[in-house]
Amino acid sequence: MSFLATSFLSRIDREAWLRFFLALAGLALAFAAAIFSSAASEAGNLIATAAFSSLALLLAGLVGALTIPFLFRRVAAARMRDALHYEFTREGLAYLGVVVLIFVAALNTGNNLLFIVVGAMFSSIVASGIASAAVLRKLELDVAVPQNAFTGRPVSVRVKLTNPRLWIPSFSVKVLTPVDKRKASGWEWQKSQFVFPKRRQWVQLPDYTLRRKSEPPKPQEILTRPVYFTFVAPRSTAEADVELVFPHRGQYAQDGFSLSTRFPFSFLIKSRKVRLDRELVVYPALMSPDEVLGVLPLITGEFVSFVRGRGSELYRIREHTPQDTARFVDWKATAKTGALKVREFTREDERRLRVVFDNAEPGQVSHASYERAVSLAATMACHFAGERVELSFAGSEYHGGQDLNSFLRHLALISPQPNHSGWVLESLPVSDDFNVILTARKPGTIPGPLWESSYVIYMQEN
């Protein structure tokens, strides 16, 4: 009992109750002042009558100005937060049709038993609405979404539903994406110009035209299928892990979720929207090894050839030259071939590679070729990030760096853009990095200094 009393006291809004009792005290004083004003009026004391009536009006005005707006805002906020939306189901419509038929029969026959049946059937609808409203009331929702995912690969989203009430459980609750039934766009007056006649344009006057509002495209939503909770006990939390697969790269966002239930009789679908902002960036799809089998070995071969030198990993055995020192002579290979052979190693301390995505302009390549190039860039970035390579990135409208996640995010949100800031290949800083360039340019148009240290992949060939 002490725990219940403590829990009850902790949930009391002290400020609201304080204002309520102050309002009662103020109204009681105003009522007393009004009684004294009436008594003074009957006694013929005009000064006391004016004073007491003015005090009553002043107290009533203070109560109205300081207490009523505060309490109204509290009640309105709670009503808006717990606002429920009702929608008839097919079962509910059929049941309502039966009720109407019985009601018409009761009117025609005057049979009291039919009126009792109609009243009982209507009361079941009312009881269903009250029970479902109680099921959804005060439920708390939390959706744990990862910061990123890859296209076509499953990712886990955890949905938590908390019932903080002491005694009332919740049954048959669904968490889903709310359906906005409002019109996607309204009407507005936009500035235009009145021209007469249209061909000669002798008269040009400012004018207004009623047009539909143009709304920006909304981000794709995260939760694509409902999550069902059979039972949530009082003062407990139910959890569900949902596996989602996103078909396209880009940014997914959702500003709210909906709690709905058909409990107990499925006559109505009751729903309540929960404000909850969640965002997720979906990286490009990673290509399978078979898809990049013809590209990665060539890139790896040219890269290793570019960084060959003195190191610990054997690159090849070749003919001796006057510039080679004697300590790298391979005596076994020399004895077998009869010619002086030396070992050549890769320079592991200089294995620097840079992935460059030279963005295309709109219409320069097909959509399929462009998406394949984006996926190939993401695949190579993830592949070489797992190797012993010092990796960096560059791209149009991308400032570069060595952070893999920022480059994947750039690829997730990229789209063909007009060239306003200059081509990325002309602005690459001079370095000893080996460049893997994905570009929409035609062969032979790559800047000359990059040819010696680059492997170029053309989007048109994809």
Q: Please state which of the ranges 368-372, 410-414, 425-429 shows the lowest mean pLDDT.
A: 425-429
Domain membership flag for residue 6: no
Q: What is the pLDDT of residue 314?
A: 56
Same domain, 219 and 320: no
Q: What is the pLDDT of residue 182?
A: 46
**219 preceded by cis ω (within 30°)?**
no
C-alpha dihedral (359, 363, 368, 373), degrees to nearest 10: -10
Amino acid at 326: A
Same domain, 41 and 117: no
Residue 141, domain CATH: 2.60.40.10
User: How many domains does one find in the chain?
Assistant: 4
Q: What is the pLDDT of residue 282?
A: 93
Same domain, 341 and 255: no
Q: Cα–Cα distance between 274 and 269 in angstroms, integer?
A: 16
Domain membership flag for residue 132: yes
Domain residues for 319? Answer: 315-347
- On the question of pLDDT at 391 being above 90, the answer is no
- On the question of pLDDT at 381 being above 80, the answer is yes
- On the question of pLDDT at 227 being above 50, the answer is yes
Percent of the chain with pLDDT over 90: 13
- pLDDT one-digit tens code per residue, 431-458: 677 778 888 877 766 665 565 677 778 8
Instruction: Determine the average pLDDT of the residues in 275-294.
Output: 84
Same domain, 202 and 325: no
Beta carbons of 260 and 271 less than 8 angstroms apart:
yes
Q: Which residue has the tokens 């760096």?
A: 401
Give the model's confidence band at 83: pLDDT under 50 very low, under 70 low, under 90 confident, else very high: low
Q: What is the pLDDT of residue 91?
A: 87
Domain membership flag for residue 288: no
Q: What Rg value do the Cα atoms of the chain yield, rounded?
A: 38
Same domain, 256 and 379: no
Question: What are the strands, taking DSSP E only, across 284-426?
Answer: 308-309, 313-319, 341-346, 352-357, 390-395, 398-401
SS3 344: strand
Same domain, 187 and 108: yes
Mean pLDDT of the chain, nearest integer: 77
Highest mean pLDDT among 157-171, 265-279, 328-342: 157-171
- On the question of pLDDT at 134 being above 50, the answer is yes
Q: Please state which of the ranges 106-120, 177-191, 288-302 shows the lowest mean pLDDT.
A: 177-191
Give the model's confidence band at 283: pLDDT under 50 very low, under 70 low, under 90 confident, else very high: very high
Same domain, 393 and 326: no
pTM here is: 0.64
Q: What is the pLDDT of residue 298?
A: 60
Same domain, 253 and 136: yes
Q: What is the pLDDT of residue 13?
A: 62
Q: What is the pLDDT of residue 11?
A: 56
Domain membership flag for residue 298: no
Same domain, 208 and 107: yes
Q: What is the pLDDT of residue 118?
A: 87
Q: What is the pLDDT of residue 3?
A: 46
Domain membership flag for residue 401: yes
Q: What is the pLDDT of residue 138?
A: 87
Instruction: Determine the average pLDDT of the residues in 390-412.
Output: 83
